[in-house]
Structure 1
Amino acid sequence: MFDPRVAVASLSGESDAAWARTAAPHVGAAFLGGVALDQPAQDAARALVARGRSEFLTDDPLAFVETQLDALADTDIFAAVNVRATTADPIRGVAALCADHGAGVEVNAHCRQDELCAVGCGETLLRDTDRLVEYVAAAAEFGAPVGVKVRAEVDGVSLPELTPKLGDAGASWLHVDAMDSESVIADIVAAAPDLFVVANNGVRDRETAHEYLQYGADAVSVGRPSDDPVVLRRVRDAVDEWFDGDETEPLSESERGVSP
């Protein structure tokens, strides 16, 4: 789906086009956002900002997304926009825009903040399978690649059972925050082998990248240190090494960012 098989993952209020351009020399994809598309989601984002979190606040989410995608038009990276909504209609609007820009849509079924969950966004979608499937199908109507960002370790939710339903609805990729359950990647891959699986959480170096790839991930994404070129270069080298078939050769201390 993208190459090199390293992505930078959305961080609320930080992951914009400038951030993606900085990471571009090291990655094949950037997930922008999250972007609140409708009024309830925007109100929840404002409540998060009021208690000190960083969020993208805009009165015109589609104009904001278009500005961000335009700013990446001259790069080679695959851009996708991570979005939050309380109904399917806003998903359709952003999907049409992303399709026009050759970008993807990533439905956010991941965020766990109380304010977002209270309005039906984020990980609440993992427990509301019908609505999540509806979102994916709505986005897929416009021909844009569609993915879903999910979180492991949500009580009562089986990602391996959910994943094939998302693929059937039109999802091309699953972006998995594995939390402390890295082996869930293997179960997801076995459940939906045609879905492109991006593994996330704790990816920092050769060891962490290769662990996810050993479980069958097609790519990895870097979250919190995504603005650190040393980390991105280290992960990129590890992923290139894996797919070049030379994963048994350890990286040097300098490649791992270790000071002598």
Structure 2
Amino acid sequence: MMDAFDRFGLLINDRVVRTPVAIASMAGIVDADYVLERAEHIGLAFIGGYSIDRPTMDAAQSVASSGDRREFICDDPVTELQAQNAKMEKSDVVLGVNLRGSSPEAFRVIAQALGSAIVYEIDAHCRQPEMIAAGCGEYYLKNTEKLLTVVRELKNEGVTVSVKIRAGVANDDRALAKKLWGAGADILHVDLMDFGTAKLRQIRNSCPLMLIANNSINTFERMKDMLSHGADIISLARQSDSRTLAGLDAAITRYADEDGWYNAPKQLCRGGDIRSLTFCCMPVKECPLIPTLARINLPREDYIRMKMEGVKGTPLDDGKQTCFGSLAWCCKTSSPCMFRNMTLKQVGLSNKEYMRLKRDLSDTIMGRVFHDVSTDKRS
């Protein structure tokens, strides 16, 4: 599993996520058996959704009785989820449970029964009228203070919290992402609907949470597009068949082994998110860098100092023949540059190693931006 960590750098609950391909929950369909049949090609899976209190259990019964949708129907959700968890214990797949509850207490009961080894995903995504009337699903996106309360209560149990949302339902997805981060959420699982990468980039620029992108991501090109705009992981639901999952897993593994940074952002001048500051040059000309630094309240001098300190003692500190005297200011390997390539050859640094070092620098920048810089406006 260490190879997978070196390749992707993904950890959840101190467990290596072997590939950034996940299965999203589908009520009445995705359970432990469904996941285990596909375990070879995924790193993370959310079973469920499971209704965990009387209002949502009644709603599930009503939805199922219509015949249009399947649901997981059980009178004792604790026992059912313990049984599902037990089936997954020997699997390398990191397990998450997607929960439909109408009160913080309902989520606390499940967390106390199952412990801290799994991810608890609050379903703020379901749009069935019965579920919304029961006080869960999209109800939480219109009543965000109640959602934040559930996040806080779960975090008080010392567990990892994911929130599954549908983009475009809340008044402002960027503001919601910030609030969820502030409340203690660890993962934001976003059904992008028809919004695409622009929405994902906005959310990435609003919080440092692990981001899972969802909705029709069933080709490698679509997957790469999501990863390059801020996603850490992509998830599939209806098309989570073994063939599609295997293809995505193989393609992203091959790409990571060749490139060195599996979800490297596009460059800022080409629509990249905040992570792409790692590829930006000195702030000496009018380009997207200048307004970006202003939006995140990062003075130019601090930006320069941050990058120079971030590469000190690393091979990126070299590069006297580059435009600004250090590889800290050089762009992605996908962009042709004679001076960068010449320097890499001189210092004996491969393109893959260079991109990994740029990823490390990006992590430093993200920590500085989100933990040291106060801001209310990112886009």
Alignment of 1:19-168 (within 5 A): 19-52=34-67, 53-100=69-116, 102-154=117-169, 156-168=170-182
SS at match of 1:202: coil
**Equivalent position amino acid for 1:169 in 2:** A
SS at match of 1:191: coil
Q: Deviations over 1:54-78 (max 9, x none)?
A: 0000000011110000000000111
**Equivalent position amino acid for 2:18 in 1:** D
Q: Which residue of 1 aligns with 2:18?
A: 3
1:237 aligns with 2:253: no
The 1-side partners of 2:135 and 2:65 are apart by: 20
Alpha-carbon contact 1:4-1:27 (below 8 Å) kept: yes
- TM-score scaled by length of structure 2: 0.62
The 1-side partners of 2:82 and 2:127 are apart by: 27
**Equivalent position amino acid for 2:253 in 1:** D
Q: Which residue of 2 aligns with 1:204?
A: 218
Q: Which stretch has the larger CA shift, 172-181 or 162-171?
A: 162-171
Shift of 1:157: 2.2
Shift of 1:245: 4.8
1:17 aligns with 2:21: no
**Equivalent position amino acid for 1:18 in 2:** D
Q: Which residue of 190, 201, 205 corresponds with 1:186?
A: 201
SS at match of 1:171: coil
SS at match of 1:92: helix
Q: Which runs of 5+ in 1 are unaligned?
A: 249-260
How many residues in Structure 1 have an aligned counterpart in Structure 2?
244
The 2-side partners of 1:137 and 1:27 are apart by: 29
The 2-side partners of 1:191 and 1:242 are apart by: 27
Q: Which residue of 2 aligns with 1:172?
A: 186
Q: Which runs of 5+ in 2 are unaligned?
A: 1-10, 12-16, 263-333, 335-379
Shift of 1:170: 1.5
Alpha-carbon contact 1:172-1:196 (below 8 Å) kept: yes
Q: Which residue of 1 aligns with 2:229?
A: 215
The 2-side partners of 1:124 and 1:245 are apart by: 44
The 1-side partners of 2:56 and 2:63 are apart by: 11
Larger radius of gyration: 2
The 2-side partners of 1:215 and 1:24 are apart by: 26
Shift of 1:85: 0.9
**Equivalent position amino acid for 2:252 in 1:** V
The 2-side partners of 1:113 and 1:207 are apart by: 31
Q: Which residue of 1 aligns with 2:296?
A: none
Q: Percent identity at matched positions?
A: 35
Alpha-carbon contact 1:98-1:104 (below 8 Å) kept: no
**CA shift in 2, pair 1:231/1:46, >3 Å:** same
SS at match of 2:40: coil
The 2-side partners of 1:241 and 1:93 are apart by: 42
The 2-side partners of 1:197 and 1:124 are apart by: 22
Shift of 1:99: 2.3
Q: Which residue of 2 aligns with 1:254?
A: none
**Equivalent position amino acid for 1:109 in 2:** A
**Equivalent position amino acid for 1:14 in 2:** I
The 2-side partners of 1:3 and 1:180 are apart by: 29
Moved over 4 A (4+): none
Q: Deviations over 1:221-245 (max 9, x none)?
A: 011021x111001121233244335
**CA shift in 2, pair 1:21/1:214, >3 Å:** same
- TM-score scaled by length of structure 1: 0.90
**Equivalent position amino acid for 1:69 in 2:** N
Q: Which has the higher contact order (CA 8 A, sep 6+)?
A: 1
Q: Which stretch has the larger CA shift, 162-171 or 238-247?
A: 238-247
The 1-side partners of 2:38 and 2:203 are apart by: 28
